[in-house]
Structure 1
């Protein structure tokens, strides 16, 4: 399958799904060569609104809608606000393309963060996962489709923690012996409960995003000891 043929197939699949009220469009294609995947990345460039995940010849392409992107962006805002209040050094790299050609795998998360490894990549404009450490935390929004197929990619990349938000709850996953296991407290932010994040993500829909962020900062100051 050539990159041109693949692009036409993707567009047709996305259009066919447009009559469903989804939070994102996802297309999964099989028997896609690594060379085709690389060509597709080069042809489409970085001005696309789709995210790619590739492993063992399977390519998943996701295009987010407002429900998906709104949740992703606001959780990202909460992480920034929490880090600011606790004076935690943080580098946000959004949907950083992470790929290791030798392993023929690639991923673009909804959001990703360097926290423990922030000092290592602080002065780098170009981050190459494989040469540089992977992000300490990856966020995946799974409102319509689960991210089960993407977790093995993050495991092979060595991402120590993944958050999964499904629109109702937030799950913390930690990498253990090559697989992700649920944990009660986040490795990156142990003082930030999942239920609090979900509460404020939902609250923004009635209170508004700016006001909700102000309320969240008040909660942090009142409930988390700043050292």
Structure 2
């Protein structure tokens, strides 16, 4: 087996490997289990991302808490799945979303996956989610949310969430940019009353 390593982005702590079998992926997953590394796999390409840092984790947590406040205040039943690994060998795809949710009922595949992007490059995340069947994917980058909805031909960039059509995404972006997370969450909650 030939494995080549390249940087997925400058200073990101990510490595992109090619020609990786599913069996090698599973072995690496077991070997790296206690390191906090995140593995993304698509058709023999494996991206290994080192444990996330503040520029990723804080916005991810703020965004997920804002979304959860909204769903609770609007009585929308949801089940947080966090970064539970989705995908399988038969699909040739596997991913750990930054956050994910099932709406209405618990399901094996989340309805909504959220990706907080602080670097570019790497594996086509939307292709993984398409194969798995995630209905909606949000990318948060530079405090802007881009929403992609699954169609028969692939994902389509849309202006609003179709799973949460009444949610004002610009409001979520605004509160996610506030300097203090605690104040942002409280201010958002007040705005919904």
Give the TM-score, by structure 2 length: 0.89
Aligned residues of 1:155 and 1:178 also touching (Cα < 8 A): no
The structure in which a higher percent of residues are helix is 1
| Matching of residue 56 in structure 1 with residue 28 in structure 2 | no
Which of 147, 151, 158 aligns to 2:133? It is: 158
* CA RMSD, 1 decimal: 2.4
Report the counterpart of residue 211 of structure 1 in structure 2. Answer: 183
Q: Distance in 1 between matches of 2:121 and 2:169?
A: 18
Larger Rg: 1
Give structure 1 regions of 4+ aligned residues with deviation exceeding 4 angstroms.
Answer: none
Contact kept? 1:95, 1:108, Cα under 8 Å = yes
**Of residues 220, 223, 226 in structure 1, which corresponds to 2:192?**
220
Quote the offset at 1:146 in angstroms. 5.5
Q: Report how many residues are paired.
A: 192
Q: Unaligned stretches of 5+ in structure 1?
A: 122-131, 222-227
1:127 corresponds to which residue? none
Shift of 1:147: 7.2
Distance 1:55 1:176 in 2: 20
Structure 2, unaligned runs of 5 or more = none
2:79/2:102 contact within 8 Å kept: yes
Question: Could you tell me whether the CA contact under 8 Å between 2:47 and 2:123 is conserved in 1?
Answer: no
Match runs of 1:105-124 below 5 Å: 105-116=93-104, 118=105, 120-121=106-107
1:170 aligns with 2:145: yes
More strand per residue: 2
